[in-house]
Amino acid sequence: MKKAAVILSGCGVFDGAEIHEAVLTLLSLEKHGASYQCFAPDVDQLHVVNHLTGEVAEGESRNVLVEAARIARGNVKPVTECQAEEFDLLVLPGGFGAAKNLCTFAVDGPDCSFNEDVLAVCKQFAAAGKPAAYACIAPALAAKVYGNNTNVTIGNDKDTAAGLEAFGAKHQLCGVEDVIIDQDAKLVTTPAYMLGQNMLEVSIGLDKMVQSVLALK
């Protein structure tokens, strides 16, 4: 049984991990016979967004690890405890949290900063030649980690794609139900809710992502 490390970035599309993407990714891992352990950085969220109004909840703060525990039903560990040698693959679902809490790409674009602990784990998997999958906006991190003309996708948004190419990655257009695979880097990316209009099409792309990353050797 292959074992996946899954890095979450909170709980909620506008300030954390995209909930549907995270749940569907975990389901797909189970469905295809893999086990998983969730991780998240033990840091405050960039901010808290009221998901009903879309407005920032001024004065409120939440911790990424604590909120990620909602998706993981309590079973989540600090990302500093993630060792690539204990896993076969790495998976990062999307949501704004990936670009607000794991890095600041959502607000700073290619000049963004990165959570050093998350970046170190991502680099560990890359250096060890272990397969990885990044969904939605999380490929912003993949672009930074892999660079070197590695093929990645965030769908078809030109400005976002240009941001990823600023890290040295090569953006490829991709539909929501499809994936981009870079065989050399052992990297799979899929647009998910960067393009998805409903959960069903997002679930198809994520399932293909999980199957593809599990098939990489």
Active site residues: 136
**What minimum distance in Å lies between the beta carbon of 39 and its own copies?**
12
Q: Interface with its own copies includes 107 (CB under 8 A)?
A: no
b or e along 32-61 (b: 16 or more beta carbons within 10 Å of the residue's beta carbon)? eebebbbbbbbbebbbbbeeeeeeeeeeee
Count of residues near its own copies by CB under 8 A: 31
Which ranges constitute the DSSP H helices of 32-127?
64-71, 96-100, 105-108, 116-127
CB-side exposure of 64: number of CA atoms within 13 Å?
A: 33
Q: How far is the CB of 126 from its own copies (least distance, A)?
A: 28
Check residue 192 for interaction with its own copies (CB under 8 A).
no
Closest CA to 126 of 102, 143, 101: 143
The neighbouring-strand residues paired with 189 are 134, 180
Whichever of 182 and 207 has its CB closer to its own copies, that residue is: 207
Of the listed pieces 67-75, 82-90, 119-127, 146-154, which binds its own copies according to CB under 8 A? 67-75
Is residue 73 a contact point for its own copies (CB under 8 A)? yes
Q: Which residues bind its own copies (CB under 8 A)?
A: 11-14, 16, 19-20, 23-24, 26-27, 30-31, 50-52, 54, 65-67, 69-74, 76, 198-200, 203
